[in-house]
Amino acid sequence: MARFIVRRIGQMLLVLFAVSALTFLIFNVIPGGDPAVRMAGRHPDPGQLARIRAEWGFNDPVYVQYLKTMQKTFTGDLSSYTTNVDVVDELRKRAPRTFALAIGAAIIWMLAATAIGLYTAARAGRFADRSITILALVGISMPVFWVGALMNYYLGFKWGIFPNGGYVPFADDPWEWFYHLIMPWTALSILFIGVYSRVLRSNILDTINEDYVRTARAKGLSERRVMYRHVLRNSLIPIVTLWGLDFGAVLGGGTILTETVFDIQGVGQYAAESIGQLDVPPVLAITLFGSFFIVLLNTVVDILYAAIDPRIRLQ
């Protein structure tokens, strides 16, 4: 276990290095204007420009620029090319919003998909199953920005059932926090509910024919207990893995569209804005933030998988 974690941390560092280097290189190649000029603002004097160039290493080779930027990232004085706002401060401010969105959505899609998966598996081939299958396909096919825009327009703007975008911190008003997040959570969950409920349905239908389920019935267990303890539990094992990975992916960039549509002002929206302005420092920091969670959740999933399926051993 200890060796496993040490090795994973090593891998994580490697991934973060590769991701940051690549991001930096890509944005270096894209013509984005002279960053020193952008940072200095209007009517800069030559001395100021020279100072900025020296500080960020813009006159040095690319790898020196990269190292200087990374150094700034980890010492906490990385600032945006366009606004001079401290990137790490900004991330710290925005991260709770993204977490609230991602965690809530992950819980919603898992619960909803479990309920729908169970229901459709129990009625496999019947009308209810078929109609939900079609609904799931529709849900999988609808892009978040479109659903989100529709929800915003009808539920938010036209009928005024929900607030039309925005975010209220939990500490300010828990109810408003919840109320504002209902639509974004739903929009973000729809795709995952569709996918997960389909996967769970087919897992359940496979598991139900397993010999050990027949054994469970032969033991005289109630049908309910057979379903929950033996069928559902074993069917959920692969789903839990998927869940961890997807949760990591949502944290690491999957909320960009949702946040932008609903104006959450989280990390994802920050990413969208920064990319639009070719603002390298925030893009770099957000990429690191995202890849960190993706790699972290991957590791957590592996550990969790070994915990729920004893046949898996970490090494």
Partner 1 sequence: MPEPLLSVRDLEVSFATDEGVVQAVDGVSFDIGQGEILAVVGESGSGKSVSAMTLMGLTRSPNARFSGSAMYKGEDLISASDERLQDVRGAEIAMIFQDPMSSLNPVQKIGAQIVEQIQAHEALPDAQARERVVELLERVGIPRARERIDSYPFEFSGGMRQRVMIALALSCDPNVLIADEPTTALDVTIQAQILQRIRSLRDETGAAVILVTHDLGVVADIADRVAVMYAGRIVEQGSLDDIFYDPQHPYTWGLLGSITRVDKPRPARLPAIAGLPPSLADRPEGCHFRPRCPHEFAKCTEVPPLEARVEGGQHLDRCWLTVEQKRSDREVLPGEIGLRSKEGAPA
Determine which residue in the list 142, 221, 275, 303 makes contact with partner 1, applying CB under 8 A: 221
DSSP code of residue 173: -
In contact, 270 and 208? CB cutoff 8 Å: no
- In the bound state with partner 1, the residue whose beta carbon lies nearer, of 138 and 308, is 308
| Residues listed for the chain | 315
Q: CB under 8 Å to 266, separation ≥6 — which residues?
A: 94, 95, 97, 98, 101, 167, 255, 259
- In the bound state with partner 1, the residue whose beta carbon lies nearer, of 234 and 265, is 234
Count other C-beta atoms under 10 Å from residue 114's C-beta: 18
Residues 235 and 308: their CA atoms lie apart, in Å, by 12
Minimum CB separation from partner 1 for residue 7, in Å? Answer: 25
**How many Å from the N-terminal Cα to the C-terminal Cα in the chain?**
7
Residues 139 and 134: their CA atoms lie apart, in Å, by 9
Minimum CB separation from partner 1 for residue 211, in Å? Answer: 4
In contact, 104 and 181? CB cutoff 8 Å: yes
60 lies in the site for partner 1, by CB under 8 A: no
Residues 231 and 236: their CA atoms lie apart, in Å, by 9
- One symbol per residue from 232 to 271: x for binding partner 1 (CB under 8 A), - otherwise; what is it? -xx--x----------------------------------
Minimum CB separation from partner 1 for residue 206, in Å? Answer: 13
- Which 96-135 residues touch partner 1, going by CB under 8 A? none
- In the bound state with partner 1, the residue whose beta carbon lies nearer, of 3 and 311, is 311
31 lies in the site for partner 1, by CB under 8 A: no
> For partner 1, which stretch binds (CB under 8 A), given 14-22, 152-160, 193-201, 223-231?
223-231
- One symbol per residue from 177 to 216: x for binding partner 1 (CB under 8 A), - otherwise; what is it? ---------------------------------xxx-xxx
Determine which residue in the list 80, 230, 282, 289 makes contact with partner 1, applying CB under 8 A: 230
Quick one: tokens of 181?
């997040």
Quick one: tokens of 49?
């420009």
310 lies in the site for partner 1, by CB under 8 A: yes
In contact, 80 and 285? CB cutoff 8 Å: no
Residues that bind partner 1 (CB under 8 A): 210-212, 214-223, 225, 229-230, 233-234, 237, 308-311
